[in-house]
Structure 1
Amino acid sequence: MGIGNGILGFVEKAGNRLPDPVFIFVWFIGFLVIGSVAAAAYGLSAVNPVDGQAVAAQSLLSSENLRRLFVDMPKTLTGFAPLGYVLVVMLGAGVAERTGLFSAAMRAGIRRAPKALLTPIVVFVGIVSNHASDAGYVVLVPLAGLVFAAAGRHPVAGIAAGFAAVSGGFSANLFPGHLDALLLGLTEPAARLIQPDWTANIAGNWYFIVAMTVVFVPLAWFVTDRIIEPRLGPWQPTADAPVQLSDSELSREEKRGLWWAGLAALLVIGAWTAMSVSPNPPLVDLTAEPTERMTPFYQSLVAGFFVLFLATGVAFGVAARTLKDHRHLVKMLTESMAVMAPYIVLAFVAAHFVAMFNWSNLGVILAILGAEQLSASGLPAWQLLIAIVLLAATVNIFIGSASAKWAAMAPVMVPMLMLLGISPEMATAAYRMGDSVTNIITPLMVYFPLILGFCQRWVPGFGVGNLMATMLPYSFFFLIGGAIMTGAWVFLDLPLGGGETVHYDLNEARAAVQAAPAQ
């Protein structure tokens, strides 16, 4: 482990020498502007394989882009999706934290729980929470820190395990969800370039994502308990920790507060259930395709967690007498937003970097050109799929959106692999593996600054380098394990789920193409 510790130490020191994350994004914007001007002057472009139209690099100093930058500046910030998710959930979580609900609940829930099983539980719940979309980042990750702290373990290790599960294991799960519908929905038009009647099946990657869960949980458990937590060292609670935890018995008021909070939680869960199963459910779109009917429900979970935290926090505070009156409640809400001020500042520059990167077309061009180079490699099928995992993992460091990357790469990847006898479902699975594993090591990931803020609340001075060094072992083990799993899946020709297989029938494809004009 000496070499590994040396590498992590180097990453930590180098990362901590970086400027504040706000100015990191400012520098990125500067380099992006220069790169876009040079790319546009050079005439850098790529052909969109869907419509055959050329996608050309756009200078960010053009009149159109400068006008869009200054005219749409408020819209660019308010349209930055993570900002809304974070503020809404943290508004409610701040009340639950300040009334003492989190502290009491953690003490009650962890006192007799075996500490050795905390890590796999946190990782498994984090992976499953992906069905709640981005809510996992703003709910599960900070709670993981609280759980570890309540058990006397280092809270940053809990945050790291939660972040690795929610983000590094983004595509893993036990059941298909909205991400399957989104990515396989993008696979469908790409596959139809070869087979016009090909239809996506939301369960097309089911067995694969279950296997990801089985592989990633023990890997994250090993990394957390054997590498990360020993490296972090013992943690001593400080006076300015976000939640004061102790081994003392719960008071009578705290026990009453937990009962009231539990009743409030049941009411909120019951309300969301009623809005999902009633005759005309507000949270289910009965007019949509079967794979998309639950989309409103998934999209409502951020608001659901806000209501859940607010209701349970208020119920606990009233019963435990830690919430005095409505003015005290407003003060707690205000303090919750004050804590988020640094993130709002960071979100301003991050939102503009992401938007400007999209305006330049550089992300789409790089994805298409990279996919074309991979298609010309001539590798055997299992090696080609591993190469796709590595390509997706590399591109993911610079382009965070899973759907944006796959929308650009699928029209090249999917037809190319189909002609090589690899099914569209397997192409999607390989992409998903690579897209997940490097989310946790790039400051360009939109939630990376938020996770850094969570760590800093427990360990003041915890820097970008510290977080990168903490998450790097997870990314390394996930990438190695994921690449081996993907290659083995193709080599052994295992079923992917929903009746889908790795290999693709070329004769059927040719027949479909020949029959298409007559249809």
Structure 2
Amino acid sequence: MKKEKKGFFQRFLDIVEKVGNKLPDPFILFVILAVAMIIVSWIFSLFNASVVHPGTGEELDINNLISGEGLQFILTSMLDNFTGFAPLGLVLSMMLGIGLAEKVGLLDYAIRKTVLKAPSFLLTYVLVFVGILGNLASDAAVVIITPLAALVFYKVGRHPLAGLAAGFAGAGAGFTANLFIAGTDALLAGISTEAAAIIDETLVITPLANWYFNIISVFILTIIGGLITDKFVEPRLGKYKGGAVEKDGSEEELPNAKKGFINAIIAGLAYIAIVAIVIFVPNSPLTNEQGGIVPSPFLDGIIPIILILFITIGVAFGVTVGRVKSGADVSRYMSESIKEMSSYIVLVFAIAQFIAYFNWSNLGLWVAVNGAEFLTSINFTGFGLIFGYIIFTSLLNFLITSGSAKWAIEAPIFVPMFMQLGYHPAFTQVAYRVADSSTNIMTPLFPYMVIVLSFMRKYDKNANIGTYMSLMLPYSLAFLTTWIILIAIFYFTGMPLGPGSPVFLE
């Protein structure tokens, strides 16, 4: 049989994967990067490099990690860097609940009886759609949806890494695509309002500023993400030859499984009802001072709320089918889940040090501010300026991955500058969001890269950074291109981005 000739982009992805997988093990790679960061900070300090923070106006030196103060920081912060790494607690906490539900057989039964009965041609699109909407649960979406998407594909005989990629792409893009108003909308709007006050103190950017744009993005990205998976990513991966994933007994037909599933649903609905009642009672401790939930303690505490939900439904199912007979069983299943996360914990130790060194040195801020000044100096006008800004921010995402931190740096520069050119801050904000979301799923510095890589290795023990990047690059480029086209449509038609949020200042 004649071997099908690969296209240019397919060959390019093969090169990305091959070169990427030649890199050292991720743990060693981030140790090397941490050492490199120490050296780079020393070189910058030799030239007395500094940067003015656009938000505070404070001049900050590039801190030298090869100094007495630097050595003190390295030694005294090492444990805090590790234990304080934001995704660590989230991931391990969520895996306690998800792991319990998986070990007692609930997830396997639920997938076999519900998702697998959906029309096969819709399966991929459903996973991307769920991934996008899952960001109502903030970062937990990546931890919950990514492994479940891989498991769904595995159950139907499709390549699990294709399912993983579809779910992760949806969850990563969801920060700029949702049918509902999420915590991210409120967080970014607050920063935008402060930046806009430099020009107009009366202008307020609301959490609804990008709502219309976000709603349209949900459906467009669902289609694009599904097509990329079905027509590009999965064919490139080929037929899955990894064999059976190590079983924990969850796939066997359990006694009273149907009854257990019903009990789990009842328990879950009862729990959700209790939470809802607490939210809607007058002066609820879970709402803000105005009685709203964006922002609110409810959104701030969404991770523990979801964790308790998974434990509730897992225990209800486990008790019914006989797999949970005492509290010791619950503890045992959770312990088994955490054991499977050991490689992730080791990776986090290294990546946490590198990110901490990078932040402490102020090198990321230096790159961001000087890059912005360059973009301003080249005197782009019209849509070319917007396009250049989007590309700049998408590339900056490889250095600063925190969306809110990056916007806090960029907003005081670009919001006033674009206002002077006649652009509404809501438009600048949406341009930032699409650039940030597009490359989040691709950059190795994304805090959840290591957890996604851990999920990948469940199905492919040889998966490495190259595998990760070649898998996600098509989604990143497709989403970025699609969003730029969508922004151009809003730009040239003048359609509002959200209620009271035009493209141009009136």
Normalising by structure 1, report the TM-score: 0.92
Distance in 1, matches of 2:230 and 2:376, equals 40
**How do residues 141-290 of structure 1 correspond to structure 2 at under 5 angstroms?**
141-235=146-240, 238-241=243-246, 252-286=255-289
Matches within 5 A, 1:465-480: 465-480=466-481
434-443 vs 60-69, which deviates more?
60-69
State the distance in 1 between where 2:326 and 2:181 align. 44
Matched with 1:370 is 371
Query: Could you say which residue in structure 2 is the equivalent of 1:4?
Result: 9
Letter of the 1:461 counterpart: N
2:422 and 2:116 mapped to 1: Cα distance?
55
Write the letter of the residue equivalent to 1:377: I
User: 1:493·1:503 contact (CA, 8 Å) conserved in 2?
Assistant: yes
Name the SS of the counterpart of 1:55 in structure 2.
strand
Letter in 2 for 1:277: F
Q: Which secondary structure does the structure 2 equivalent of 1:438 belong to?
A: helix
Structure 1, 24-33 or 268-277: larger mean CA deviation: 268-277
The answer to whether structure 1 residue 115 and structure 2 residue 120 are counterparts is yes
Worse overlay, 143-152 or 429-438: 143-152
Tell me how far apart the structure 2 counterparts of residues 490 and 121 of structure 1 sit (CA, whole Å): 30
Q: Report the Cα distance in structure 1 between the residues aligned to 2:301 and 2:54, rounded to whole angstroms.
A: 35
Amino acid at match of 2:141: G
Cα distance, 1:252 vs structure 2: 4.6
> Is the Cα–Cα contact under 8 Å of residues 287 and 293 in structure 1 kept in the other structure?
no
1:188, 1:198 within 8 Å by CA — same for their partners in 2?
Answer: yes
- Cα contact 1:274–1:281 (8 A) shared by 2: no
Shift of 1:314: 1.6
1:358-507 correspondence to structure 2 within 5 Å: 358-505=359-506
1:73 matched to which residue of 2?
78
Deviates more, 1:324-333 or 1:113-122: 324-333
Q: Which amino acid aligns with 1:96?
A: A
Determine if contact 1:386/1:486 at 8 Å carries over to the other structure.
no
Q: Which amino acid aligns with 1:234?
A: K
CA contact (8 A) 1:385 1:487 kept: no
Cα displacement string for residues 174-218 of structure 1 (whole angstroms, at most 9, x for unaligned residues): 122211111121112211111122222211111122222232111
Which sections of structure 1, spanning at least 5 residues, go unmatched?
Answer: 506-519
- Work out the CA distance in 2 between the residues paired with 1:275 and 1:323: 29
Q: CA deviation at 1:242?
A: 5.5
1:35: which partner in 2? Answer: 40
Give the 4+ runs in structure 1 shifted more than 6 A. Answer: 243-246
2:102 aligns with 97
- Does the 8 Å contact 1:314/1:323 carry over to 2? yes
Q: Which moved more, 1:70-79 or 1:400-409?
A: 70-79
Aligned-pair distance for 1:14? 0.8
Whether the 8 Å CA contact 1:283–1:294 is kept in 2: the answer is no
Q: In the alignment, what sits opposite 1:328? A: 329
Look up the SS of the partner of 1:441 in the other structure: coil
CA drift at 1:412: 1.0
Question: Is the Cα contact below 8 Å between 1:146 and 1:243 reproduced in 2?
Answer: no
**Match of 2:375, as an amino acid?**
L
Moved more, 228-237 or 216-225: 228-237
Q: Which amino acid is the alignment partner of residue 195 of structure 1?
A: D
In structure 2, how many angstroms separate the alpha carbons of the residues matched to 1:29 and 1:237? Answer: 34
Q: Which residue of 1 aligns with 2:3?
A: none
Partner of 2:92: 87
Tell me the TM-score normalized by structure 2.
0.94
The aligned amino acid for 1:185 is G
> What's the counterpart of residue 339 of structure 1?
340
- Letter of the 2:417 partner, please give it: M
The letter of the residue matching 1:478 is: F
What residue number does 1:516 align with?
none
Cα deviation for residue 426 of structure 1 reads 0.6
Paired residue total: 501
Q: Deviations over 1:146-183 (max 9, x none)?
A: 22222332221111011101113421111222111111
The Cα shift of 1:275 comes to: 2.4
Answer whether contact 2:116 2:152 (CA < 8 A) is retained: no
Residue type matched to 2:445 in 1?
L
CA contact (8 A) 1:148 1:157 kept: yes
Equivalent AA in structure 2 for residue 309 of structure 1: F
Specify the alignment match of 2:312 in structure 1. 311
Q: Aligned-pair RMSD on alpha carbons? A: 1.9
* CA–CA separation in structure 2 for the residues paired with 1:126 and 1:380: 36
TM superposition shift of 1:111: 4.1
> Structure 1 residues 185 and 92, CA, compared in 2 at 3 Å: closer, same or farther?
same
Aligned-pair CA distance for 1:237: 7.0
- Tell me what 1:52 maps to: 57
Q: Percent identity?
A: 39
The Cα shift of 1:70 comes to 1.6
CA distance in 1, matches of 2:123, 2:328: 38
Provide the C-alpha distance between the structure 1 equivalents of 2:308 and 2:247, rounded to a whole number of angstroms: 21
SS of structure 1 residue aligned to 2:51: strand
Amino acid at match of 1:317: G
For the residues of structure 2 that align with 1:239 and 1:153, how far apart are their CA atoms?
12
From the superposition, tell whether residues 377 and 488 of structure 1 become closer, same or farther in structure 2 (CA, over 3 Å).
Answer: farther
- Offset at 1:295? 2.7
Q: Which residue does 1:124 correspond to in 2? A: 129
For residues 423 and 247 of structure 2, the distance between their equivalents in structure 1, rounded to whole angstroms, comes to 50
Counterpart secondary structure, 2:60? strand
* 8 A contact 2:263–2:317 mirrored in 1: yes
Gaps of 5+ in 2: 1-5
Conserved? CA contact 1:133–1:299, under 8 Å: no
> Structure 2: which amino acid aligns with 1:408?
I
Alignment partners' CA distance in 2, 1:287 and 1:213: 29
**Deviation by residue 1:32-59 (Cα, 9 ceiling, x = unmatched):** 1111111122122233334433232111
Secondary structure at the aligned position of 1:286 is classed as: coil
Aligned-partner Cα distance in 1 for 2:197–2:222: 36
Superimposed CA distance per residue, residues 238-280 of structure 1 (whole angstroms, 9 cap, x where no aligned partner): 343467787x9x5552112211211221122122212211233
Q: Deviations over 1:453-502 (max 9, x none)?
A: 11111222222211211111101111111122223322222211111111
Does the Cα contact within 8 Å between 1:129 and 1:136 map onto a contact in 2? yes
Give the secondary structure class of the aligned counterpart of 1:343: helix
